[in-house]
Structure 1
Amino acid sequence: MKPIPRLLASLCVPIIAATALPPAAQAATPANTPARKPNILLIVADDLGYTDLGSYGAEIATPNLDRLANTGAKMTSFYASPFCSPTRAMLMSGVDNHLAGFGDMAELMLPEQMGKPGYEGYLNERVVPMPQVLKDAGYRTAMAGKWHLGIKEELSPATRGFDQSYAMVMGGASHWGDQSGILAVDPNKPPKAIYRENGKAIDIPRDGFYSSVAFTDKLLEYLKSGESSGKPFFGYLAFTAPHWPLHAPDADIAKYEGRYKAGYDKLRKERLERMIKQGIVPADTPVYEGHAYWPKWESLSQAEKESEARRMTVYAAMVDNMDQQIGRVLEYLKATGELDNTFVFFMSDNGADGNSVYDVGRTREWIHKDMDNSNANIGKPGSFIEYGPGWAQVGSTPFKLYKSFMYEGGISVPAIAWGPGIKGGSIKREFAHVTDVAPTIYELAGAKHPGTEYKGKEVLPLRGKSMLPYLQGKAQQVRSTNDAVGWELGGRKALRKGDWKIVYANKPWGNDGWELYNLAQDRTESRDLAAQNPQKLGELLVAWKDYVAETGTLEIDGLAYRPGYSNAGKYYDDLKIEAAMKPRAAK
C-alpha cells in the first residue's frame, strides 16, 4: 500500500487529534525517474505574536497551522527583526537588513541615515532576491500580499523575480480595501493604500474585499494558471493580518464574543500553562508581568475593559481567518496531488505589536476625524484601531516586551517547517534566524545563489546558513556556538552568540546601557548579568563591533530616543480621546 503523506491524511479526516497524526511518509522514487524538484510555499504573518497559534499555546482556533506544526518541525528559537520591512528584506535576500537596504524602516528614516549604503529604504540592487534565484533554477514564481520592500513601480515584486504578483505595496492598510494606509504619498491627500498587480497600479474595491481572502484568491489563481507548465512553483503568501487596523468578518468575530472578558493578565498565565504542557518552555518558566507603562486589568474601568476585550476579540478573529485561508491553499495542493511534494515554511515577521497606531505617520490627523472606533464598530469597515500593549504582551508570553524592541518578545517568532524530508512531530529548540530561510530553500530546490557576482554586477553573498540538515535530523544545530548574530533598528541593539545575548534599550524600557543574559537559563531576560560577568559582556561587545563593521550599521547617538511610535507612550491617552468622541460616519 502506498504511504499517505502526513498532512494529506490529516486533511482528509475532519476530526483527529494532532498528536495522533501518522509520521512522515514519502513514496520512493523509481530509479529511472528523475527526482521532482519540490514546490516551495512561503507564508508570512504580519505582527503575529509568539503564542498566537494553538500549537504555541493560544486559545485561538488555528487547526491548519497546528497540523503543520504537529506533523512537521515546530521551531521555538527562530528569530526575526523587531520590524516588518527589515525582516522581509532578510527573508527575500538571505542578507542582513543593514546591507539589503533596510538599515531602518523607510517610514522612520532620519536625514543622517538617508542615502547611506544599506539605508536606501527599499530592497537594493546589491542583493539577488529569492524569487530571482529560484526563477533562474527553473521555478515559476508568484506572490500575493504585503510587499513593503519598495514603493516605486520599478521596485515592485515584478522587477525582483516574480512572474506574477499582487502586492499591497506599503504596510498598515485597511483590510477592507484601500481606505487608509499609514502614509500618504501626496501629503496634500488622505492616505490611500497602493496596490499593484504585475507591477501596474490597480484599484481595490471597498465592497466584497477582505485582505486575507483576496491575497489567497490571487495566489490560488496564479498557481492554477501555471499547472500545465510542468515547472515547480515558488509561492509567497504574505498576509497583512493580524497587523492593525483590526478588521475581521462578522462570522469570525462571533466565534470569540465574550472570550476575553477576563482580561490580558489572566490570559497570559493561561497561555503559559498551555506552553508548558506542550513542551515549548520549561515548567519553571516565569511570566513577564509587564511594564509599568500599562495598567493591570483590574485597574481598568468597565468601559475600558469592554473596549479592550472587543479589540482582542477582533484580533483573534483575524488570526482564525488567516488560518482558514492557509487551509484553502493546502486543500488545493491536496486536490492537485502536489501537497506531498511541497515544502511549507511559515513564520511571523516580528513580535506582537503593542505600540500605538496614532504614533505612525499622519494617522493622528485623520483617525479621530474620519474613523468610527466605537466599540460596536471595531473590526468593521470605517474603523482603524490597534489592540495595545496589554494584549501584545499576551502574544509575547513569556517574553519581555514586543515589536520594536530587541528583547525576546520583539524578535522571537513562531516558525514552522513542513515537507519532504522534514522530521515530523519534532520541536526544534536550537537558534535559527530569518537569513537562514533563503539558503535552506535553495538547498532544497537545488538552486545556487550566484555568490558575489550576478549578470556582470557585484552582489552580496548570503550571510544565512541552511537549516535543512537540522530540520531533517542530520545535524544538531544550524549555527555554531561561535557564530554571532546582531540586530539594530532605531538605535536599539542586540547580539547573540551561543546561549549569550546582549541587549541595549533606551529608558524607560531598558537601563540605557548594555544588558547581558544567558538565554539557556533565562530566556525571559529577567536577570541582567552584565555586572556579574564583565568578561562575557566584553566578549560579546567585541563581536558587536565586528557586526557593525561587517554590515555598515550606523550607530547614531540618541537615536533610540527619537520621538514617536514606541517612545510616545500615547496608547492609553488616545483611548480616553476615543471614548470622549461621538461615533461618526467613516469617509
Structure 2
Amino acid sequence: MSRSNWRRSALAAGVAALLLSACDASAPGASSSSKKPNVLVILVDDLGYSDIGAFGSEIATPNIDAIARDGRVLTNFHTTPLCATSRAELLTGVDHHLVGVGTLSESSVFYPGEDNYKGSLNDAAPTVAQLLADAGYHTYMAGKWHLGGDGPKSVGFEQSFSLDYAAAFASNYKATAERAESAAKPYYENGVEATLPDDFFSTDYFTDKLIQYIGQGHGDGKPFFAYLAFQALHFPLQVPDAYLDRYKGKYDAGYAAIRATRLQKQKDLGIVPQDFSANPGDEALMLRFGQPGVLTNGDWDSLSASDQQSEARIMEVFAGMLSNLDDNVGRLIAYLKQIGEYDNTFIVFTGDNGADGMGYGFIPYVDGTGNLDIDNSLANYGRPGSFIFRSTRWAEAGTAPLRLFKGFTAEGGLSVPTIARLPKQNGGAAPSTALSTLRDIVPTILDLAGVAQPGPSYQGRGIATIEGRSLLPALRGSAGIHADDEVMADEVNDIRYVRRGKWKMTRVVNYVVPSAAANISHDWQLYDMDADRGETRDLAATHPDIVSALTADWAAYVARVGVKQPIFPVILTPIDQ
C-alpha cells in the first residue's frame, strides 16, 4: 500500500471512530475524561540543543513549537552521550549500566566478557511499556530500537514496527533492484521481518504505523502508551525531494553566523539568560580523533568555494529532514485531535543525545571499502543512494551555545531540547530550568498514570530500582525535582562526568592517537553550572576540595553501577584512569 493510500485509510478509520462515539455517548472510549491519560513519547535521533524553533533555530518546526506553546519547555534536561545508552534509560528509568547497555553493541568488543556492556537490554528492570501494559494500557512503538535482544515485542510493546534491533542507523529509503542503498537494513513488525513499500521513507512510515496502531485500538476504553523513535536526524542525512530546496542559500553565511543567530534567539526566548557565556569551541575534539584541522573543517572563510558549497548543502539537507520530521509530528498530533485523544494525552518530545559531530565532514564520503553503492555527487546530496553527515562545525552550531556534541559528556553532548505537555494543558507555561534527566521520564509517566513503581522486584525476580524523579512538580509549577546534594554521574566508553548541585566535573577525552597526544589535558575539568553552563572556565585548579569530593562521588558511582575500563585497540593509547 502506498503512503498516500495508507494515510487515507488511517483518516477513514479515524472518522469512523469519531462517528461511532458520536452515535453512542456511552460507548467505551466515548469520553476520554473517564480513563487514564494516554502517553506519547517522541524521540529524535541526534537533535542538537538549538535545532528546533522553540530553542532558537532558523529551521521551521511549527508543529513541535505548537506543543511547546501548549506545554512547557525544559531548558535543563539531560541525556547520556550516545543513543542506545539513552534509550535504555528512557524506557527503564534506571542507569544504563545496570540494564545491559553500558555501551553500544558496536563498542562491546572493547569490553570482552562484560555482560552489562553487551549493548543489549536485559531483564534487570522492566520497561515502562511492561508496567503500563500490566496496568491496562495499549503499548505501541515505531522507529529505531537499538537495544538489541528480541526487540520491542519482548519487553512489553503490544505492537511495534522497528529498525533492525541492533542497528544504530540505516538508509531512510528502501533499496531497490534499480538502486542500492549502502546502509539498507531490515525492519521488523511484531517480531517478523517486514516487506517495505517501494515509496518507503522512514520518518513518514514510522508515523503511518503509529497512527495505524493507535487507530486499531481506539474505542475500546483503554488508554495507550505510544513511543515514536525517529531514526532521523541520524546520518545518512536524506529527505524527500519536496524538502530538499526549502532552505536553499540559508547556510551560505557559514557556521559562526548561524550559531550567533541562534544564540541571540535563545536569549530572546528565555532559553538561556541574557548574560550567558557561550562556549567558543573546543580544540580537544580535534585531538581526540588525531586529525587536527581536518575533521573540524576549519573556519568558514578558510574553506574553498567548493567546500563551502558542499557544507552549506549538507545543512540544507539536514534542515529539510527536520522539517519533514516536524510535518510528521503535526500529522500525528492532528490525528490525536481528530479522534478526540489529544486533550487526554501526556506528550514528551526530546532527543537521545546532542547533535552528531563525528567529523566526517566534506563530501564525497569515503567508507574505506571502495563501496560503489554511494552516490555523493553534490546534486544527489540527501537523495536516495547518498550518504552524508553533519560535520563537526555544524554540530557546534546545533548545540549552541554549549560545549561539544554527541559522544562527549560536555553539555553539548548531554543537553537536548525537551518539551512536555500535560493532558488538557493549553496556553503553555514559562520555561522550566529545573535540572532533569531521561531517567525522570518513567517515574513521571507512572505518576501521571497512577501506576505504582515496582520497587525491588518484578514478576518474582529482583530488579534495579527506578532512579529518576517525577517531573510533575516542575511541569505544574516551578519547583525543582532533584535535591541540591544529589549526585548525578555517567560514563560511556570511559568518557565521564559527575555532578553534585552546581558543580560538574567532566573528562571528555579518554584516548588519543599517539601522534596527537601533545597540548591536551586528560585530567578532570571542573565547572560551575550555575555561572558557566557553557563550560568556558575550568576551575579544577582553584577548587581542589571540590575536585576531591567529586572524585569520591565518582568512585562510589563506579562501584554502584559496575563501570568497567574499555580495552582499546593498539592503535589507540588509553589515558591513565
Deviation at residue 433 of structure 1 after TM alignment: 0.6
Structure 2 letter corresponding to 1:438: V
CA shift digits 1:307-362 (9 cap, x unpaired):
0000000000011110100101110111111111000001000000010469xxx9
CA shift digits 1:46-89 (9 cap, x unpaired):
00100000010000010111111122110011000110000000
Counterpart of 1:554 (choices 561, 564, 567) is 564
Matching of residue 397 in structure 1 with residue 389 in structure 2: no
Counterpart CA distance in 2 for 1:452 and 1:289 is 45
Counterpart CA distance in 2 for 1:167 and 1:114 is 28
Question: Which residues of 2 match residues 17-32 of structure 1 at below 5 A?
Answer: none
Alpha carbons 1:287, 1:399 under 8 Å: kept: yes
Structure 2-normalised TM-score?
Answer: 0.85
Q: Per the alignment, in what secondary structure is the counterpart of residue 76 of structure 2?
A: strand
Deviation at residue 511 of structure 1 after TM alignment: 1.7
Alpha carbons 2:39, 2:347 under 8 Å: kept: yes
Alpha carbons 1:505, 1:513 under 8 Å: kept: no
Distance 1:463 1:561, change over 3 A: farther
Alpha carbons 1:117, 1:552 under 8 Å: kept: no
Alpha carbons 1:275, 1:281 under 8 Å: kept: yes
Aligned to 1:482: 485
Counterpart CA distance in 2 for 1:269 and 1:281 is 13
Structure 2 letter corresponding to 1:491: D
Deviation at residue 283 of structure 1 after TM alignment: 1.5
Aligned to 1:13: none
CA shift digits 1:159-197 (9 cap, x unpaired):
110000000122210111258xxxxxxxxx976412110
Deviation at residue 538 of structure 1 after TM alignment: 1.1
Which structure 1 segments of 5+ residues have no match? 1-31, 180-188, 565-587
Aligned to 1:279: 270
Deviation at residue 449 of structure 1 after TM alignment: 2.7
Matching of residue 157 in structure 1 with residue 155 in structure 2: no
Aligned to 2:289: none
Counterpart CA distance in 2 for 1:222 and 1:394 is 37
Counterpart CA distance in 2 for 1:486 and 1:468 is 23
Alpha carbons 1:439, 1:466 under 8 Å: kept: yes
Counterpart CA distance in 2 for 1:237 and 1:258 is 32
Structure 2 letter corresponding to 1:402: F
Matching of residue 517 in structure 1 with residue 527 in structure 2: yes
Counterpart CA distance in 2 for 1:33 and 1:375 is 51
Q: Mean Cα displacement is larger for which, 507-516 or 393-402?
A: 507-516
Matching of residue 244 in structure 1 with residue 235 in structure 2: yes
Percent of residue pairs identical: 41
Alpha carbons 2:103, 2:118 under 8 Å: kept: no
Aligned to 1:261: 252
Alpha carbons 1:144, 1:165 under 8 Å: kept: yes
Alpha carbons 2:141, 2:228 under 8 Å: kept: yes
**RMSD (CA atoms):** 2.5
CA shift digits 1:194-233 (9 cap, x unpaired):
211001112334x311111000000000000001221000
Alpha carbons 1:491, 1:560 under 8 Å: kept: no
Alpha carbons 1:505, 1:560 under 8 Å: kept: no
Matching of residue 74 in structure 1 with residue 73 in structure 2: yes
Deviation at residue 505 of structure 1 after TM alignment: 2.2
Aligned to 2:15: none
Counterpart of 2:299 (choices 296, 302, 308) is 296
Q: Per the alignment, in what secondary structure is the counterpart of residue 121 of structure 1?
A: coil
Structure 2 letter corresponding to 1:526: T
Deviation at residue 401 of structure 1 after TM alignment: 0.8
Alpha carbons 1:137, 1:446 under 8 Å: kept: no
Matching of residue 311 in structure 1 with residue 319 in structure 2: no
Counterpart of 2:460 (choices 456, 475, 482) is 456
Q: Per the alignment, in what secondary structure is the counterpart of residue 440 of structure 1?
A: helix
Aligned to 1:87: 86
Counterpart CA distance in 1 for 2:303 and 2:77 is 35
Aligned to 2:413: 410
Q: Per the alignment, in what secondary structure is the counterpart of residue 234 of structure 1?
A: strand
Q: Mean Cα displacement is larger for which, 316-325 or 440-449?
A: 440-449
Counterpart of 2:434 (choices 420, 430, 433) is 430
Counterpart CA distance in 1 for 2:493 and 2:313 is 32
Matching of residue 378 in structure 1 with residue 381 in structure 2: yes
Deviation at residue 424 of structure 1 after TM alignment: 2.5
Counterpart CA distance in 2 for 1:319 and 1:563 is 38
Deviation at residue 515 of structure 1 after TM alignment: 0.5
Counterpart CA distance in 2 for 1:414 and 1:562 is 34
Distance 1:191 1:242, change over 3 A: closer
Which structure 2 segments of 5+ residues have no match? 1-30, 287-295
Deviation at residue 562 of structure 1 after TM alignment: 4.7
Deviation at residue 366 of structure 1 after TM alignment: 4.6
Alpha carbons 2:169, 2:183 under 8 Å: kept: no
Alpha carbons 2:33, 2:344 under 8 Å: kept: no
Distance 1:322 1:366, change over 3 A: farther
Counterpart of 1:172 (choices 165, 169, 172) is 169
Deviation at residue 501 of structure 1 after TM alignment: 0.2
Counterpart CA distance in 1 for 2:101 and 2:391 is 26
Distance 1:382 1:190, change over 3 A: closer
Counterpart CA distance in 2 for 1:142 and 1:560 is 44
Deviation at residue 121 of structure 1 after TM alignment: 1.7
Structure 1 letter corresponding to 2:539: L
Counterpart CA distance in 2 for 1:367 and 1:39 is 49
Structure 2 letter corresponding to 1:290: G
Alpha carbons 2:174, 2:184 under 8 Å: kept: no
Structure 1 letter corresponding to 2:170: A
Q: Per the alignment, in what secondary structure is the counterpart of residue 487 of structure 1?
A: strand
CA shift digits 1:270-312 (9 cap, x unpaired):
1011011111112222333324442000000000000000000
Counterpart CA distance in 2 for 1:561 and 1:238 is 35
Structure 2 letter corresponding to 1:441: I
Aligned to 1:545: 555
Q: Per the alignment, in what secondary structure is the counterpart of residue 109 of structure 2?
A: coil
Counterpart CA distance in 2 for 1:53 and 1:59 is 8
Counterpart of 1:333 (choices 336, 346, 351) is 336
Aligned to 1:202: 194
Counterpart CA distance in 1 for 2:570 and 2:265 is 35
Aligned to 2:43: 44
Matching of residue 528 in structure 1 with residue 523 in structure 2: no
Counterpart CA distance in 2 for 1:284 and 1:119 is 41
Q: Per the alignment, in what secondary structure is the counterpart of residue 284 of structure 1?
A: coil
Counterpart CA distance in 2 for 1:283 and 1:562 is 42
Distance 1:128 1:178, change over 3 A: farther
Distance 1:427 1:54, change over 3 A: same
Counterpart of 1:145 (choices 130, 143, 152) is 143
Aligned to 2:130: 132
Counterpart CA distance in 2 for 1:363 and 1:80 is 31
Alpha carbons 1:41, 1:345 under 8 Å: kept: yes
Distance 1:560 1:547, change over 3 A: farther
Structure 1 letter corresponding to 2:227: Y
Alpha carbons 1:491, 1:558 under 8 Å: kept: no
Alpha carbons 1:64, 1:324 under 8 Å: kept: yes
Alpha carbons 1:504, 1:510 under 8 Å: kept: no
Aligned to 1:502: 505
Structure 1 letter corresponding to 2:221: G
